[in-house]
């Protein structure tokens, strides 16, 4: 909305995100930013306490907070977020220069009466607390912006009228069932957000709010549009989505002659009046989720409309005169029953985004090729098997194309023009058996998804020339190998190879230089180790981790005597290692997330301690032991080991200082017992520590 700032956020831009105390100047004013620390004293080096005009404390624990805050009584801006405040420090009420106070994201259930002493305060944010009453706030007669969103309010006080200079009021996500009559006295109010409450009516005085520019009443229980709204003749935005408004929209809607945005999505509206076309300034209209008769919407004079959304409206045709909206930029007709598009129905010279997903379209009209400004085209979940011959004309502008869940047996070559600017392409769930080598022409491609294509057995070498590719999703296919050129994808960060038919782990993956996320789950595909248990795997795991001999079951204690067969067994192991996870996985130095679920693995290569892994999911395998050096991993935060054959955790696992989540359920655990194996690591670590102490005492007593 040009020239207007209705943002709920009134925080300072560029607040330092790093932890610690930062002292600086902001617009010539002394500032202190304290974030994510525990301290006794807020130190100042460059400024005296009286020079500090902006004080920000976020996600910190300050002992003797009131004493520390009182030092900065010349502050003009005070932000105290996520510091678990349950009482407002009384010293704040004496900050006579304070103009902005943000105490959101705390645990406040009330505010002191002395807050009325903040006579310079113009902006107050107390959102995301536990307030049940805001009577004390009503004494702040100079307040211009108030945010009480996400509290526990059931009503607004009768003294609300005292906020005579209020311009912006937000009280969404509360339990308010009615507004006081006095709200109509707020003659300067321009923005009002009361979404997700329990309103069904508005007070009569609401019609006095003739200066209101923005009104958001989404997520309430209105069964009609209150008539008082039609007196708010200055309205630019009216949003009533997710209510229970029934029947026809009143003709009085035409009195809102300045309206630019009308959002009525997900109500029970069935018809619009002919007077709707009198809203000549309307730019955004959303009627999604209503069973609207398309013939009741007259677009002939809505010449300024730029965005129209009619998703999930039960439409079988495109409204006839929609094509008259020559300024349309965004059109969403998804989730309807549209089966055929007339050639003239897609004549929008300015259109940049077209969503026709979830319909029953089998053929696209030739006119779609004339959308010379089209950037986004969503056609997923239709019945398309081909594209118009001139579809390549869109290659100059088209950036995002979704053809997933259609009936393409052959990928149209018009997608691979040398001049193509596609950055996102989805071909999921089509009966294709081949990807053309010409995909190499998509030099700007960033995201490629070709999953759920059950006939697809290989990928072309040309894929390696898509050098800007960041995300590649090829799960749930029949792939048995990968092209060697994937090693050239230096921008690739996300790779999903789950549920395919690889004979062994594709080693080329270990050569992708900047890969950060690798998914190789085989719940439905071919696991790295066959379901049948190969003979000797248990003993081979001993060879792989000789450091763990002492912790093996007694029946294998004499295994070390079989030294004569060691060399031949090692040779055998090296030959069959392709049946597991290769140690070359350690080459992926940038990998932070690795998932190997349901691969039948008995063991893992001892390389993870040399990687930057944060999340490792090896659940639903047959692991009996963890790699000996796993405990040396420096970054691991999530370790999923559930559904394996682990009966013992080594004490060294407690060295994983960064670990937050550890899953151990569905293992035959003896140490620690299975009931200790909670998702959080603390019970496990505590048990292992106590168990070690018990062992030491027991051994000493012997």
Mean pLDDT of 583-612: 96
**Helix or strand run (H / E) with residue 569:** helix 566-576
Mean pLDDT of 602-608: 95
pLDDT confidence bin for 700, thresholds 50/70/90: very low
pLDDT recorded at residue 687: 64
**Helix or strand run (H / E) with residue 125:** strand 123-125
Both tokens assigned to 97: 């220069």
User: For residues 570 and 546, which has the higher predicted lDDT (pLDDT)?
Assistant: 546
User: For residues 507 and 697, which has the higher predicted lDDT (pLDDT)?
Assistant: 507
Q: What residue has token string 């080693």?
A: 507
Task: Report the percentage of the chain scoring pLDDT > 90.
Answer: 75
- Each residue's pLDDT tens digit, 506-518: 999 999 999 999 9
The mean of the pLDDT values for the chain is 89
* pLDDT for 195 beyond 50: yes
* pLDDT for 621 beyond 60: yes
3-state secondary structure of 146: strand
Give me the sign of the Cα torsion angle 68, 70, 76, 77: positive
**CA-CA distance, 583 to 350, in Å (whole number)?**
54
pLDDT confidence bin for 345, thresholds 50/70/90: confident
- Each residue's pLDDT tens digit, 439-489: 999 999 999 999 999 999 999 999 999 999 999 999 999 999 999 999 999
pLDDT confidence bin for 683, thresholds 50/70/90: low
* pLDDT for 553 beyond 90: no
* pLDDT for 411 beyond 50: yes
* pLDDT for 654 beyond 70: yes
> Could you tell me if 443 and 419 are in contact, meaning their C-beta atoms sit under 8 angstroms apart?
no
Task: Report the percentage of the chain scoring pLDDT > 70.
Answer: 87
Buried b (16+ CB within 10 A) or exposed e, 621-639: bbbbbbbbebbebeebbbb
pLDDT confidence bin for 8, thresholds 50/70/90: very low
* pLDDT for 340 beyond 70: yes
pLDDT confidence bin for 670, thresholds 50/70/90: confident
Lowest mean pLDDT of 43-57, 75-89, 500-514, name the range.
Answer: 43-57
Give me the sign of the Cα torsion angle 115, 121, 126, 132: positive
* pLDDT for 10 beyond 80: no
The whole-model pTM stands at: 0.86
Cβ count within 10 A of residue 349: 11
Ordered by where they begin, the domains of the chain are 11-139 (3.80.10.10), 615-702 (no CATH)
Contacts with 312 (C-beta within 8 Å, 6 or more apart), sequence order: 288, 289, 334, 335, 336
Q: What residue has token string 């491609």?
A: 445
* pLDDT for 572 beyond 50: no
**CA-CA distance, 676 to 244, in Å (whole number)?**
49
pLDDT recorded at residue 422: 98
Total count of residues recorded for the chain: 702
- Each residue's pLDDT tens digit, 219-250: 999 999 999 999 999 999 999 999 999 999 99
């Amino acid at each position: 909305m040009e020239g207007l700032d209705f943002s709920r956020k009134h925080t300072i831009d560029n607040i330092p995100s790093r932890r610690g105390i930062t002292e600086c100047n902001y617009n010539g004013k002394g500032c202190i930013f304290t974030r994510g620390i525990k301290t006794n004293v807020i130190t100042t080096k460059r400024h005296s306490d009286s020079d500090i005009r902006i004080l920000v404390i976020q996600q910190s624990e300050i002992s003797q907070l009131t004493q520390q805050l009182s030092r900065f009584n010349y502050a003009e801006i005070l932000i105290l977020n996520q510091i678990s405040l349950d009482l407002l420090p009384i010293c704040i009420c004496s900050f006579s220069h304070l103009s902005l106070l943000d105490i959101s994201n705390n645990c406040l259930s009330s505010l002191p009466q002395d807050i009325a002493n903040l006579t310079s305060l113009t902006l107050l944010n107390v959102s995301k607390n536990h307030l049940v009453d805001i009577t004390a706030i009503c004494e702040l007669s100079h307040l211009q912006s108030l945010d009480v969103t996400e509290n526990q309010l059931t009503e607004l006080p009768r003294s609300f009228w005292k906020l005579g200079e209020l311009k912006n009021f937000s009280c969404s996500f509360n339990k308010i069932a009615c507004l006081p009559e006095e709200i109509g006295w707020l003659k300067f109010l321009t923005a009002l957000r009361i979404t997700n409450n329990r309103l069904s009516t508005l007070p009569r005085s609401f019609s006095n709010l003739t200066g209101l520019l923005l009104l958001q009443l989404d997520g309430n229980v209105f069964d009609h549009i209150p008539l008082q709204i039609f007196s708010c003749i200055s309205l630019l935005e009216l949003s009533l989505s997710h209510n229970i408004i029934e029947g026809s929209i009143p003709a009085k809607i035409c009195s809102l002659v300045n309206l630019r945005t009308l959002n009525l999505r997900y109500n029970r509206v069935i018809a619009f009046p002919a007077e709707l076309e009198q809203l000549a300034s309307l730019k955004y209209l959303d009627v999604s989720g209503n069973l609207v008769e398309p013939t009741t919407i007259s677009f002939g004079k809505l010449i300024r409309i730029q965005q129209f959304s009619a998703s999930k409206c039960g439409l079988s045709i495109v409204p006839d005169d929609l094509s008259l909206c020559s300024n349309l930029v965004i059109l969403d007709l998804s989730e309807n029953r549209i089966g055929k598009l007339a050639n003239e129905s897609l004549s929008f010279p300015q259109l940049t985004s077209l969503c026709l997903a979830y319909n029953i379209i089998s053929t696209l009209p030739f006119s779609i090729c004339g959308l010379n400004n089209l950037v986004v085209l969503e056609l997923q979940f239709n019945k398309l098997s081909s594209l118009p011959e001139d579809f390549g004309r869109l290659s100059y502008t088209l950036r995002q194309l979704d053809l997933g869940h259609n009936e393409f047996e052959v990928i149209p070559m018009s997608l691979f023009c040398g001049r193509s600017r596609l950055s996102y392409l989805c071909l999921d769930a089509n009966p294709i058996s081949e990807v053309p080598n010409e995909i190499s022409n998509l030099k700007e491609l960033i995201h490629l998804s070709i999953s759920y294509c059950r006939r697809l057995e290989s990928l072309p070498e040309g894929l390696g020339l898509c050098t800007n590719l960041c995300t590649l999703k090829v799960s749930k296919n029949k792939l048995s190998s990968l092209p060697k050129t994937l090693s050239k994808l230096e921008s690739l960060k996300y790779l999903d190879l789950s549920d395919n038919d690889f004979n062994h782990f594709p080693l080329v993956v270990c050569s992708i230089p900047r890969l950060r996320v690798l998914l190789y789950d085989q719940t439905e595909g071919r696991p790295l180790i066959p379901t049948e248990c190969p003979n000797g795997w248990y003993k081979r795991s001993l060879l792989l981790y000789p450091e763990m001999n002492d912790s093996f079951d007694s029946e294998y204690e004499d295994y070390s005597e079989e030294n004569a067969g060691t060399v031949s067994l090692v040779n055998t192991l090296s030959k069959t290692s392709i049946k597991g996870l290769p140690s070359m996985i350690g080459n992926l130095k940038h990998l932070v997330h690795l998932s190997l679920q349901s691969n039948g693995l008995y063991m893992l290569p001892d390389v993870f301690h040399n990687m930057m892994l944060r999340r490792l999911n090896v659940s639903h395998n047959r692991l009996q032991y963890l790699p000996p050096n796993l405990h040396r991993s420096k970054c691991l935060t999530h370790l999923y080991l559930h559904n394996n054959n682990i009966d013992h955790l080594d004490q060294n696992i407690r060295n994983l200082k960064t670990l937050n989540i550890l899953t151990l359920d569905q293992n035959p655990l003896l140490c620690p017992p299975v009931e200790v194996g909670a998702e959080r690591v603390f019970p496990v670590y505590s048990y292992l520590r106590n168990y070690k102490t018990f062992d030491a005492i027991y051994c000493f007593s012997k």
